[in-house]
Structure 1
Amino acid sequence: RARHAVYENARVLEAADALEEGRLERFGELLNESHLSLQFDYESTGMELDCLAELAWQREECLGARVTGAGFGGSAVALVRRDGVEDFCCYVGERYRRYIGYDCSFFRSESGDGARRV
């Protein structure tokens, strides 16, 4: 589990640089790496979250996906190209229901400028 913490810190720093430089593909790769680390090093994902991430990774319009929150259940986040959101949700939703046995929910959002001092 310590390995996850060490490498996750490095991933966060690289992710910030990737976003600042507009390298969304690299940012997506870092999301994927983070999920795999949470799955295998920290062991905090679970069947449902792993299924969501793995289905997301199969889609061309998805740049990356990972568990979000405290882990051990909860939510996943996926970075999806705007023009592919509908296809992505249909594909992941249908297959998730088939593999897991119940529906998942999707919440769409867009990025903002982030926190700053007013």
Structure 2
Amino acid sequence: MVKVHITQILHDTLTLDLIDIVAPMIAQLKTNDELLSGFGIPMKERGEILLQSSHLIGRKNLVLDMIEQKYTILKDRPHPIMLKRAWEEFRSSGDKERFLYALKRAEEVMSKQRKNPSI
């Protein structure tokens, strides 16, 4: 399967829908981690949080793997380091707005370079 540049996510409604689905899962997992790191949580509630987390982790990983199988970050395109950081941050925080903003910025630079190759 040929991978396309990660900025093409902006034009792929299916992948944008997947991002909309996975972002709240990531945020919930982060909340669960914070809850589990606290003291005074009854064992029953702790068990429920762990069970919920294990289900979410499986689904989250499936969706993120689907996205990673289709897209790549090309080193010869603008901002490869910024895009890699944005993807990693999205994977850990679920902040889709910041991730999509990074994609838009990189796409704008690529568009300017296509119009004026001397940039």
Q: TM-score category by the smaller chain?
A: under 0.3
Higher helix fraction: Structure 1 or Structure 2? 2
Name the structure, 1 or 2, with higher relative contact order (CA <8 Å, separation 6+): 2
More strand by percentage: 1
Q: TM-score, normalised by structure 1?
A: 0.28
TM-score by length of 2: 0.28
